[in-house]
Structure formats: C-alpha cells, structure tokens
Structure 1
Amino acid sequence: MSKTKRSLLLIAYFLILFFVIKINATAIVEWLNKSMFPDYTIDSTQDFHDSFSNGISLIFISTIFLYSILGTAIVSILIIDILMIGLIFANQIKVVERNEFITFSEIKTVASPKELLSFVDVSPAFALVIVCTVILILAGLQFLIIKLSKKLHFYINKWIRVTLLLLSLTFLIMIFIKPNYYNAHLLKFEETHSHNFNPLKRARMDGFLPTFMHTVKPIYMDRPAGYNKVKIKEISQKHSKLSQRINKERDKSLNDSETLLYLSESFMDPKQLPGLLLNESPIPFITQTVKNNIGGSMYSQYIGGGTANLEWSVLTSFSLEVFNEPLVVTPYSDFYADSKNKHTILDFYDKEKVAVHPYTAHLYNRKTVYEKIGFDNFRYLNHGIKHTDKLGNHKRVSDEALNKDILDVMDKNNVGLIHILSMQNHSPYNKKIPEMGYKPEINTNIYPKKKAEGLFNYLQGIHATDNAIKDLVNELGKSNKDVNLLFYGDHYPSVFRGTENQFKGDELHHTPWFIFMNNGRSQEGMQLEDLSPAFFVPLLLKEGNYYVSPYQGLMNTLLTKGVKRIGKDYVVTNEGKLSDNQVPKDLLAMVNDYRIIQYDALFGHNWLADDFYTKVK
C-alpha cells in the first residue's frame, strides 16, 4: 500500500472513528438523562434548560483517552458503554428509591460492592462471575483485534496514540481542575443561588452530566457575612461568658451518665398521615412514650435516604439546612473526614464511646469518620455484632436482636456513650413477616393500591420496632445509674416515594423522637414539633440539667428563644418559618453567630479554640 493511500485510509479511519464515538457519546448522554425519570421515560411537558443534552464532550474525550491507551476502538467504546450502563442503572435505582441522583462523591461506593449489590438482590458470587466473564471477553477481543491489525498491516502509529493521550489527558485534567468553569462555559449549566429543596427536579431540567459535574467541586456553604478573626474572637468571648452563667444553675456532667443515641432506620408514625390507616396504630408504645416524656417530631428533608446526614447533624449539632443544597450533600463522604474540626457530643465523655450498627462499616465513610471523631469501638456486621436474627424472611438484622448487642455493650462498666443505628426497617419491603400479631388496614383511597403490599410489610416491621423499644426502655428503667435514651426516626421509608403530591406540606418530612431518662427524670418534659436534629443534644443537656460548653451554651439560648431549625437564610420558630428579615435583631445576631461557627468549623480557618466546644465548667 502506497504512503498516500495509507494516509488517506488513516484519515478516513479517524473520521469514521470520531463520528462513531460522537454517536455513542450522544446516546450515553440521552440515557443518563432518561435515568433521572421513572421507567426511563423523560417528561416532555416540563421545562428543559440549555444544558440538558450537553456533556457529550466529556464522554467523547474519555473514550479517546481510553483508545489512546488500548489502541483498539471497539474495546474502548465497549468499556465506556459498560461503565456508563452501570451508572445509568445505579442512578435509576437511586432516583426510584430516594428521589435523588448520584453525585461525584458517591462514586467512591464502588469500593463496597457487596453492600451495593444488596440493594438490587444480586449475590456477590454471581456479580463476580459476570465481571470476570466480561473482563475475559474484552481481553480476548482486544487480543484478536491487535492480532488482526498486525496481520492486515493496519495499526495506529504509537506517536499518534501518544499525541491523543496527551491531548485527552490534558483536557480531562483541565475539566476536573476547573469543573465549574467547564460546566458553565461548555455545558451551559446555570448555577442558582437560591436554596434548592428539590435537586432532582432541577437536575431533570439541567441534564444529568451538567448536574453531576456541579457536584465535583461544590460550594457546600456560602461564607457568612462578617466572618473574620475579630468576629470569631467576639463570638468566643460572648458565648464563653454565656455558658458560665448557664452552668452556675446546673449541677451535672453528661460524663456521669450513660447516653444512648438511637437512630431508628426509616421510622415514621403512620397516624401522622390523616386517613392512611383504618385501624389502630402499629406503634402504641412509642407514641405514648413521646407524649409522656420529652418528645415530638423531627424535621427530615429526606425520604428513603439521608441516614448518614441526620446522624451527623445529631452528633455535631450542626444544621444541614444551612448548606446550599442539603439534599445532595453527605458530610461524611464529601468533606467531614478531612475537616479540621471534629468536635461532637463525644467530647463530653471521658468514658468509652461505642458505635453499634448491624450492617457494613464502609458505606458513607463511617469507619474512617468514627475513628477520627473519637469512638473507641465500632461494632458492625462481622466485627463485634453478635446477634443477627432477622424478622421472618427479611434481609436486615431485627431490632430485637440489636437490643441484645446494645445491652451487651451497656454491661461494660466504663461505657459513657452508645451511638446506635438500626437496620431492621431499611428497604426492601417485599417480604411478609409471619406470625405478626398486627395487620395494618391501609386506606387505598389515600395510598396507591399497587404499592400497598410494600407498605403493609413495612408497617408490620415498625410494629416489631415498637415492641423492641418497649423492651429496651423497660431494661433501661431498671438501671441504678442515670441513663438517657434519645430515640428518633431518620426519615420516611422509600415506599412513600412518588406519593408526595398526595400529602400536604411537610407531612412526609416529620418523624417521631423522644428522650427517655430513667428514674422519672423525663416525665412530662418539653414537647417540640418540627425540630431539627441539630437541637437534640442541646435539648438533652437542657432537660438533663447538664453542664454546657460555650457552643452548646449558644444552642441552649437559641432553644430557649424558640428556635427549632436554622437554614441558610431562614429560621423556624414557634411562630413558623421566618426569613432573616422577619427575625428580631437580637435573635438574628445569635443565629448569624451560629452560621459563622459552623462555617469556621467545616470550611473556614477553624479559628475557634477547642475549648469553645469542649469546656463545660
């Protein structure tokens, strides 16, 4: 073959190759967008932004990068397609289960394949066989193509591949160093600066890839006005004096008690949804305990997800609502492991701090975070959890079995704090519970009949939770030492996804909580509705008459003034939701102090000294 013919053939080859890659990239972007809609069906009636179909360039460059390394177009395209099919499938599952899309930080969860596979009911062994088979097929195809290319004397010069490698790698590095610039100028993503309460709704207008790229280097929280060293010094002095005044009227240290923080997975009260049930409540004990002790309802932005975020808010007393987009922020995964400030309720205890979770330790970076914030022991499946009985054919460890592990930890003499995350009521809800005395009667005029079986199974599960919590409270009541139990449901279960329009306002965003203190210390305590999880520990300190740190002194004062939730530019009090310009000046000053403290701790210079969070006397 003459040099001229070879050059022309090479040009034709690359033109066809680039055309095929572009068609493939276009199809991938289309299916990624479809994955954000139920059944992969795009709602044509809604508005679409200019960025909706953009992102082809990212797939195109990624394919060229892979091609420059492998040297075979077919295998390169196939690998990209397989990876993107996995992303499309995973995103659809998350959309259906949680009404959320996959973010950049969540790509790390591929390091926990066993846990991810449990959500789609595929065994690790079967998945491993599939992966190995695909790799072998691709490797075999790569070998045959290279061998055929040499036989036909048609293969790409290594210098062309090196050039493609350098160009594609440079573009990819530039994109991920300046993702927001790429997003704004090439993908035409229009960033909004208002609080976004429904990121998936907006993502359906913006397109998957532009929205995904927006999560690569997000601005989690805006720098508050007035954040500087002088202001931090003023805050430190003011709230240190405030905590000293509060502590003069208190006589206990939290370290002298034993506290259980009990997050009940996907726990809600069905009687809070008018007309949903035609018979009695499945949770009579918990309902009565809420009324007779310190209790009420907690505000949760999430349905079917967000557990790690809510537990983080409880442990830190930091609000999720001050973030720009709380529904797509996961502090554990996104920034908290590398944050300079790790002060939590654990600082109040010199005794042993133990976390108990009858599931994996790897999702949401929990194992790393727990170690960094000071847990002395973390019991999880195959590592300290001794009791793994299930409810009937359900997949998750039962709350009754979890009680045994909790009481086993409590039997240790030097335990001060036990952080508990249950799993019993986590999805899926496709298995009935045999020999369950409670049978819910669901009003299918209120709840979709086609989904009623899943809700039926879920309600039987929370009835079992009610029995388990009753047993636990009875055991705690027998203790000779002061024991505190903070119990709360983290969010509504995924069986309520898609029913948001059938219920008013925030009805699907309020879960039960209570604080039980043995020896009659919590009887007829405060009742607070619509409370942020950030205020649970301040309320425990207040109602238990425990000493506070300067930071918790501020939280105590906010509680006393009727503040129940703090957002980016609003506050929720007993008067309802107020924008900042509606809040009295003296209260707004304290709220702004709170925002500055949170920013300083998580994203700022961490100027506040450690004793601002830890000094209690």
Structure 2
Amino acid sequence: MLVWLTIACLLLQFIDGRRCVISFHWRRPLRNTKTIIGNCTRIVAVIVSTSLLCSFTLNLNTVGSWSHNWAQALGDSPTLWDAAGDASLNGPTISFLRLANPKTMTKPSDYSQATMQEIAQRYNKIAEKTNQSRSNNLTDNTMIMILSESFSDPTRVPGITLSEDPMPNIRALKNTTTSGLMLSPGYGGGTANIEYQALTGWDLALFDNSMQVPYQQLVPHQKVTETFNQLWNDRYGASGSIAFHPYYKNMYLRDIDYKKFGFSHFYTLDSNPPITHHDGLDNSPYASDAEAYQNVVDALQNSNHPQFIQLATMQNHPPYSDWYSDNQFKDADTTNLPADEKTGVDTYIKGVSITDQATTDFLNQLDTIDQPITVIFYGDHLPGVYTTARASSKNTITMQETDYFIWSNEASASAGTKLDPAAAATSYTSPNYFMAMASDHMNTKVSAYIAFLSAMRAEIPATERLTLGVSGVTDNTPTVYLDANGNVVSKKELSSQQKKLLNDYRLIQYDLTVGKNYLSSTKFFDVK
C-alpha cells in the first residue's frame, strides 16, 4: 500500500506540475472562484483525513466500532497475550494503536465523590464489626497464591473415562480444607485475566467487552493500582512481596505490571537474576511444578518476615505432545476419542498426576516450616484439548470450572480449617473472591474492600465474563452468575439486594481503574 501510494503521489505531481488541478494560493486565497473552491477542497481533505485517522485510532480497540470491524475484515488478528507477537503478526503501528486508547468501563450515572465516600463509610462499618470478633492479622501470615497452569479435574469432563484417578491427593485434600470449583472466564487460555482478578479482586464482567486483557490494555495506563500483595508491602516494605514464573517476563507485559503492583522481584527465565529452578520433565519444554515450588521454598528460607508470594506455573501449559516417557494414562484412559485428541488428553492427564504429587510434597515441606503459611491454589482454566466435549454447548459451564483449595500449614492458627459450604455461601467461587475467602478461612481482620467482597460473594457466589474462544481472548463474552448450587442465574432473576451490590461493585471498580480514585484517600483498602 505504501509503494502504490508513493507511485500515485509521484504521478499526480508529474501530471499537476504547475497547473494546479486543484487550485490553491497562499497569498491570495480569494483571488477567484476556482481558487476559493480549491482552497476549500484541500482544507476539507485535511480535516477529513485527520478525523478519519483520529476516529480509527480512538475506536480500534472498541468492540463493534467501525474501525475495529474494518481492521478485522482486513485481516487484523489481535494477540493480546503477547505484545511482541501482536506487533510481528499485525504490524507495530496497529499493535501500538490497539493499546493506546482502550475502552475500560462506562462511567456509572451515580458516580461522584460523595457516592464513593458513602460507600467507603458503609463498608468500613461492616469491616469494623467483623474485626471485633477477629484478633489475627492477615499479614502475620505468609500468603502463597499459586496459579496452577491449566489444572483441573479430568474426571469432571463429559465423556472422559479413566480407570485410575490422576489426582487422588488433591481430591483427598479438598475434602479436609476450604475448597471447591472456580468459575473461570477462559477456556484453553487467558491466564493473565484470571491472575489479574485474583490479585485485585476486580471482576472482568464489569469491564466493557473491549477490555479483554487488563494486563496489556489497562494496567500500563494506570497511575494507581491496588493489589492484595501491597498489604504485605505496607507492613514489611519492598520485600513484602515477590513473584515467580518459570517462563518469559514479557508475556502479558507482566514485567511492567508487576512493578506497578509492587512486587520487589519478578523471577523468570530472562529476569536478572533469572529464576533458579526451571528444569522440565522428560521431553517437556516447560519447568516442572516441583521445580517451580522449589523456588518458593527457597524464598521462604531466605526471608525473615511473612511475605506475599505469587507463583504462576508452566508445567501443564499447552500444547501437549506426548512428552512423558512413562505415561500410564495411555492405558488408563478408555475414552473413545480421535487419535490426535487422545494423545493430547493423555499427556495432559499425566501432567495433572505429576502436579498432584508435586503439590502434596510441597505442602508437606510447608508443614515443616515453623511460621504460619496459607496457600491459595487454583487452576486458571481447562486446557484447550477437549475438542469433543467442548463441541457441545451444554458443557459450556462445566468446561469453564476449575479446582481450587485454600490450605494452612501446621504452624498456622487456621491449620485444619474447612469453611462450612453453607456458612461460606457455597463451594463455588470466581477468582476475584479468593482473598476474601482466605480472610474468612484464616479468621483474620479485613479491610472495607475485603468486607465488601465477602458481602458480594454471600449474595452472588460466582460471577464471570466468559470468553468463548480457545485462546481466552474473544469478542464473544457473555456474563454468567452462579447461585450457591452452581446453577446459572440470569441478570433478570437477581434480587434487589444483589443488584445493589453489583452497582456498588461497578462504582468501586470504576473509581479505582479509570475514575478519580476517590477511595484511595478513604483507607478503603487498609486493615484497621
């Protein structure tokens, strides 16, 4: 296009010469009718061109806009999990413009400083009442948040039949500690979206559909970011929180975002210094879970105070290519699947089995450490390998539910705690509620924000914006609400109290993401 544009300009210059096909005159713009028309034509051309360019730039990232649809019609294929890959595939200009003006949320009609102050006061009172019966502090404990890549129970997938349980240890553990099923926004991808919700408490369903990957579209633009790890930073300084990911730091712009979140170090394959333990098993190209966990154990041994530790694993990341030399699930899986699908499924299930043992060994190590430690463990999404089961729309919700548990070691006051599903609203949840659940599990004091999340979860146990694409990024994003039994509830069926809480949620999230940050000055996030 650039070559043809250049040729066209040269031809027009040659044809025009000094004859001025479109008349123009700087010094005497009104000398005759032809000149006036020519001047106006050129001015209009500049205005129209500039307006089109501005409109294209401003709307490229807005789902359903003319520029978004036109770009996709011309072959634009956003890869919002990898900025470098997006630039390589779609061109650096489009990649840059895509991130330049993201549409985050529509401003709530009742948003104002007075409204936010009223919300802060209301939930501060709830937090104060809750804290009267609690003596433990959240930051007295080390909190380890583990995003286990693609971890989920294969036996819950419709059509999968196994003669051997791939996760007997975690299944038994879930019966003795706070646990259940997590509604994930993604299937086969979208890891950072689940991670973002767990670290912030924000709900993707409240964002505009154009806000598909906050790690790339939102966080780099924010002046203020509120994440749960900052509670440990506030008490222990910069070393209060660290993060590990045995892969590359630029995926989802994590290196930029984690700095904003306040993590003192983010250890990856290409960080300085790099992550210490990252070897894979057999022919797998990814670090094993045992290796990933060892980095956390080392960090615990090298710290003299409680920390918030974020770990995102890689062992069970797709694709799955028959990596393991001794895979008993090739025989244990009696499912009738196409050969290619079965190879992927069997490789993945073997990975789940390895995770099951590695996680058990890790928790046993934590039990030997004489300091209170609580673990939030969750799978981010199912692997995109279940082609047959995914083909049926009746399996949609099942295919977007992963496993989670919250567990405390022997040195913790909350060791052996299992929240009563009835008292805790339900065993179903979504990732935005994890810190509120952990606070209940540990019986610790809460901030007004955590008190709000607890109140929200009591009314709507799980809420999520599903991204119905294998990559976890798509324009097809219906919002789903689950009741205490895991049943889908339509928005029309929500009670007035549920709708009021959703409106509070929308106001809080708007204020702290694209609003005026009124809540930042109200101690809304502080634990008194």
| Fold conserved between structures, TM > 0.5 | yes
Question: Displacement of 1:180 after TM fit?
Answer: 8.2
Which residue in 2 is equivalent to 1:565?
A: 463
Match of 2:290 among 400, 411, 430: 400
The one-letter amino acid of 1:177's match is C
Q: Does 1:508 align with 2:418?
A: no
Match of 1:310 among 194, 203, 211: 194
Q: Does 1:537 align with 2:419?
A: no
Secondary structure, aligned partner of 2:309 = strand
Aligned residues of 2:178 and 2:406 also touching (Cα < 8 A):
yes
Which residue in 1 is equivalent to 2:322?
A: 431
Q: Does 1:224 align with 2:108?
A: yes
Which residue in 1 is equivalent to 2:276?
A: 386
Kindly provide the CA deviation profile for residues 499-518 of structure 1, in whole angstroms up to 9, marking residues without a partner as x: 42246241110000000111
User: Aligned partners of 1:292 and 1:373: how far apart in 2?
Assistant: 33
Question: Displacement of 1:374 after TM fit?
Answer: 0.6
Question: Displacement of 1:215 after TM fit?
Answer: 6.2
Which residue in 1 is equivalent to 2:418?
A: 524
Change (3 A) 1:223 1:458: same
Question: Displacement of 1:448 after TM fit?
Answer: 3.4
The one-letter amino acid of 1:557's match is A
Which is bigger in relative contact order (C-alpha 8 A, separation at least 6)?
Answer: 2
The one-letter amino acid of 1:325's match is N
Aligned residues of 1:510 and 1:530 also touching (Cα < 8 A):
no
- After TM superposition, the score normalised by the length of structure 1 is 0.67
Question: Displacement of 1:408 after TM fit?
Answer: 0.7
Which residue in 2 is equivalent to 1:128?
A: none
Match of 2:341 among 451, 462, 470: 451
Which residue in 1 is equivalent to 2:117?
A: 233
Change (3 A) 1:293 1:181: closer
Deviates more, 1:345-354 or 1:248-257: 345-354
The one-letter amino acid of 2:178's match is I
Change (3 A) 1:288 1:320: same
Aligned residues of 2:242 and 2:308 also touching (Cα < 8 A):
yes
Q: Does 1:344 align with 2:255?
A: no
Kindly provide the CA deviation profile for residues 188-209 of structure 1, in whole angstroms up to 9, marking residues without a partner as x: x9569xxxxxxxxx989x8465
Q: Does 1:616 align with 2:527?
A: yes
Q: Does 1:177 align with 2:62?
A: no
Match of 1:574 among 481, 484, 488: 484
Change (3 A) 1:400 1:305: same
Aligned residues of 1:337 and 1:368 also touching (Cα < 8 A):
yes
User: Aligned partners of 1:257 and 1:566: how far apart in 2?
Assistant: 29
Deviates more, 1:316-325 or 1:522-531: 522-531
Deviates more, 1:585-594 or 1:232-241: 585-594
Aligned residues of 2:158 and 2:389 also touching (Cα < 8 A):
no
Which residue in 2 is equivalent to 1:369?
A: 257
Which residue in 2 is equivalent to 1:356?
A: 244
Question: Displacement of 1:339 after TM fit?
Answer: 1.7
Secondary structure, aligned partner of 1:405 = helix
Q: Does 1:547 align with 2:445?
A: yes
Q: Does 1:496 align with 2:386?
A: yes
Aligned residues of 2:183 and 2:428 also touching (Cα < 8 A):
yes
Question: Displacement of 1:583 after TM fit?
Answer: 2.6
RMSD, aligned CA: 3.5
Aligned residues of 2:135 and 2:444 also touching (Cα < 8 A):
yes
Secondary structure, aligned partner of 2:229 = helix
Which residue in 1 is equivalent to 2:39?
A: none
Aligned residues of 1:297 and 1:511 also touching (Cα < 8 A):
yes
> How many aligned residue pairs are there?
454
Aligned residues of 2:445 and 2:527 also touching (Cα < 8 A):
yes
Deviates more, 1:554-563 or 1:352-361: 554-563
Question: Displacement of 1:233 after TM fit?
Answer: 1.7
User: Aligned partners of 2:188 and 2:16: how far apart in 1?
Assistant: 52
Change (3 A) 1:312 1:497: farther
Kindly provide the CA deviation profile for residues 430-468 of structure 1, in whole angstroms up to 9, marking residues without a partner as x: 1330135554533443x4343111111111111111111
Change (3 A) 1:583 1:510: same
Aligned residues of 2:140 and 2:306 also touching (Cα < 8 A):
no
Aligned residues of 1:438 and 1:460 also touching (Cα < 8 A):
yes
Aligned ranges for residues 61-460 of structure 1 at < 5 Å?
A: 63-64=1-2, 67-68=4-5, 71=6, 174-179=51-56, 207=73, 217-325=101-209, 329-349=212-232, 350-351=235-236, 352-383=240-271, 384-412=274-302, 413-436=304-327, 439=330, 441-445=332-336, 447-460=337-350
Question: Displacement of 1:292 after TM fit?
Answer: 1.5
User: Aligned partners of 1:338 and 1:238: how far apart in 2?
Assistant: 30
Kindly provide the CA deviation profile for residues 276-299 of structure 1, in whole angstroms up to 9, marking residues without a partner as x: 023122111112212221001111
The one-letter amino acid of 2:128's match is Q
Secondary structure, aligned partner of 1:609 = helix
User: Aligned partners of 1:361 and 1:171: how far apart in 2?
Assistant: 42
Change (3 A) 1:158 1:375: farther
- After TM superposition, the score normalised by the length of structure 2 is 0.77
Change (3 A) 1:276 1:415: same
User: Aligned partners of 2:48 and 2:334: how far apart in 1?
Assistant: 56
Q: Does 1:602 align with 2:505?
A: no
Secondary structure, aligned partner of 1:325 = coil
Aligned residues of 2:184 and 2:464 also touching (Cα < 8 A):
no
Deviates more, 1:511-520 or 1:555-564: 555-564
Question: Displacement of 1:540 after TM fit?
Answer: 0.3
Match of 1:556 among 454, 476, 494: 454
Aligned residues of 1:261 and 1:485 also touching (Cα < 8 A):
yes
Aligned residues of 2:141 and 2:372 also touching (Cα < 8 A):
yes
Aligned residues of 1:340 and 1:601 also touching (Cα < 8 A):
no
User: Aligned partners of 1:393 and 1:439: how far apart in 2?
Assistant: 16
Aligned residues of 1:340 and 1:606 also touching (Cα < 8 A):
no
